[in-house]
Amino acid sequence: MFYSDYHIHSRFSGDSNEDLIKIIEKSIELGLKEIAITDHLEYGMKDLSSAWDINLDEYVKEILRLKEIYKNKIKIKLGVEAGVQPHTLNYYNEKISKYPFDFVIASTHGINSIDLAFGILQEGKTRDEMQDFYFKTVLENVKKFKNYCVYGHIDFVTRYGGTKFRGMDIEKHMEVIDEILKEIIHSGKGIEINTSGFRYGENRVYPDFPILKRYFELGGEILTIGSDSHQKEYITKYFKTAYEILEKLDIKYITSFEKMKPNFIKIR
């Protein structure tokens, strides 16, 4: 049995139509103790449809309502996934400070206002050049932005741009990855194991094993596990593999959050 799923999207996200009640009931059926609803908050991105314009007042009100209704069955955490960019950090600081979030994932979905998924950023670049560009942007974000709990799917840049951009020579990027991890740890923040890499044909978690290993070697402690589900069927998908990775690394704890404060949960 798994303890929690800390990366779940619902109908409030621009890329999901899943009903919150169905998410919660499925999570209870799976025996989870906690879930974090982490719908997308995107800002400063060109050519995103209006479906991505989340109404935070409505969203927060609904999560808090359901949190109270289901409090005797499961802990529901009010979360959000903020698609941060260096030029949008003031916006995210303002929005995140306005609401009583339990948990915030910071993610790099776009660079220079362009979504990674569009394939435009990859044009004219080699795989290594694109990945270096991405990691340097992540480093700038973690140096400037502190209003988050964990950084999401740190190396998922490989997911976009087609076959040419799949895979990674981690050693080529390890210097900047080390800087990212050190900054995250120094700031008292954490990372996630995101199991969606298996769904997207990469046959791995985000971040990949060598990066996870390095995070703990550098003294990292804060870690959540999330399915990044956009449909209820994907909740806890591939978590068995995530737990096996933690066992291989001899990690005995994951993290729970309340009002953005971490608590450590023993898993074995």
Asked if residue 93 has pLDDT above 90, the reply is: yes
Whole-prediction pTM: 0.97
Confidence of residue 145 (pLDDT cuts 50, 70, 90): very high
DSSP helix/strand/coil, 168: coil
| Contact (CB, 8 A) for 48 and 42 | yes
| Contact (CB, 8 A) for 109 and 115 | yes
Letter for the amino acid at 112?
N
pLDDT at 49: 86
Kindly report, residue by residue over 1-28, the tens digit of the pLDDT: 899 999 999 999 999 999 999 999 999 9
End-to-end CA distance of the chain: 11
Using a pLDDT cut of 90, give the percent of the chain over it. Answer: 97
| Contact (CB, 8 A) for 200 and 193 | no
Residue 217 Cα distances to 108, 128, 251, angstroms: 24, 25, 11
Asked if residue 54 has pLDDT above 90, the reply is: yes
Left if phi > 0, otherwise alpha if psi is -120 to 50, otherwise beta: which for 6? alpha
Closest among 136, 148, 145, 149 to 178, alpha carbons compared: 136
pLDDT at 244: 97
CA–CA distance, 257 with 251 (Å, rounded to integer): 18
Closest among 31, 38, 22 to 77, alpha carbons compared: 38
Query: Which domains are assigned to the chain?
Result: 4-266 (3.20.20.140)
Name the CA dihedral angle for 64, 68, 73, 78, rounded to a multiple of 10 degrees.
20
Asked if residue 114 has pLDDT above 90, the reply is: yes
Q: Cα 136 from chain centroid?
A: 18
pLDDT at 48: 87
Compute the average pLDDT of residues 170-184: 98
Asked if residue 44 has pLDDT above 90, the reply is: yes
- Locus of tokens 């999570």: 27
Kindly report, residue by residue over 179-226, the tens digit of the pLDDT: 999 999 999 999 999 999 999 999 999 999 999 999 999 999 999 999
* Kind plus residue range of the DSSP H or E element containing 104: strand 103-107
Backbone angles phi, psi at 177, to 5 degrees: -60, -40
Mean of the per-residue pLDDT values of the chain: 97
Sign of the CA dihedral running 140, 256, 196, 24: negative
Kindly report, residue by residue over 225-235, the tens digit of the pLDDT: 999 999 999 99
